[in-house]
Chains A and B, each alone.
Chain A
């Protein structure tokens, strides 16, 4: 049975923790809003990009001039997984969810006899995947120093991926990130980057089937466009990730604050009960002492 003093100390310590989690929640909320704004601001670009890409893809069609980044190498022996996670923990199951999704994928690929290579973006994913697949991780990108994710960060990763592709290091590239649905729901998602799948967008963009003039020609534009599109997809994934991380952190910290509150209530009750018991005990001692006289 802890003494009164112990209880008092524990209450104080839980209270201090609660203060921290509360502050972290508020910080996360503010950052979430900013992250959401950034994601919102980036949307027009990726939407236009998808529409334009679909348009050109249609124009080029099944032409042989389509670049390899779009058609792929014709094989699917080696897979590259780009796993984007957060740099920091304390955000509930956010990082482990993405990592688990990636891990399932790796397991499936390995079982099918494929070669797997992994690039980790973000420290947490690296920490988790390192335990099982350390030998498969070929590179990691650290964004710890980056305050606000800019297009350059995504572009760097994009260049890396494309350079690897040009060297023939892999056949299929898949991007793992967490899609931001709402503050409480982030869905780990896998998206195929290379070969670029223009499937769903192609159908809806066909309304603008105006006959375009291309300068230089459609093939050249496509060659220019697709690497850029890869960077844009990565950029979008990173932004969604930041928003998701902050959302997850906010709800995790909210939970922690609530738990701390419950704990304080329980401890206080305990404390009061013990204090009461002690007072009663002292009274009984005095009374029985007086009666004995």
Chain B
């Protein structure tokens, strides 16, 4: 059976990273990973740092690392607005470490509520590093 495909767009503030027909997208939503396929119910969700894996209509799989953002899902298409996104192949440890350092620096002066959020963010980034880059 041929799987139904839909439009998927991955957009970062700087540019449009991907705009293609895909059959399946896995999104690291804040409430847990979700797989989006064609005719998904309209959903809007925020995203935590993680890996987006995209299965294109011609059967290839592409993976992107995203650092937060949100997704707008419609039955006919899915738009992922990422705060910043990098192709997995282009990511290396230093980029990730720089980010973690930046967040840690922000942690210093942050209030309680913000602190928890930032700490969570650091934890997510660290985990992400372990998944994507084998030590």
Residue ranges of A at the interface with B (Cβ–Cβ < 8 Å): 38, 41-42, 44-46, 48-49, 52, 55-56, 150-151, 154-155, 208, 210-216, 218, 220-221, 224-225, 228, 231-232, 235
| Among B43-51, B56-64, B87-95, B119-127, the stretch in contact with A | B43-51
- B residues less than 8 Å from A225 (CB atoms): 70
A52 engages B44 (CB within 8 Å): yes
Q: Is the interface of A mostly helix, strand, loop or mixed?
A: helix
B11 engages A208 (CB within 8 Å): no
Contact A213 B13, CB 8 Å, known A45-B81, A52-B72: no
- A residues less than 8 Å from B74 (CB atoms): 208, 210
Contact A42 B44, CB 8 Å, known A215-B31, A225-B70, A228-B83: no
Task: Tell which of A48, A49, A150 has the most Cβ of chain B within 10 Å.
Answer: A48
* Distance of A38 Cα from B13 Cα, bound (Å): 10
A52 engages B43 (CB within 8 Å): no
Residue of B nearest to A225 (CB): B70
The 10 closest A-B pairs by CB, nearest first: A215-B45, A41-B15, A151-B13, A210-B42, A213-B43, A45-B11, A212-B42, A45-B13, A44-B16, A212-B44
* Distance of A220 Cα from B31 Cα, bound (Å): 12
Interface size on B, residues (CB 8 A): 24
Task: Please give the distance in Å from A175's CB to the nearest CB on chain B.
Answer: 16
* Distance of A210 Cα from B41 Cα, bound (Å): 9
Q: Does B14 contact A (CB under 8 A)?
A: yes
B42 engages A41 (CB within 8 Å): no
Considering only residues 9-61 of chain B, those with a C-beta below 8 Å from chain A are: 9, 11-16, 29-31, 41-46
* Distance of A56 Cα from B43 Cα, bound (Å): 11
Q: Does B79 contact A (CB under 8 A)?
A: yes
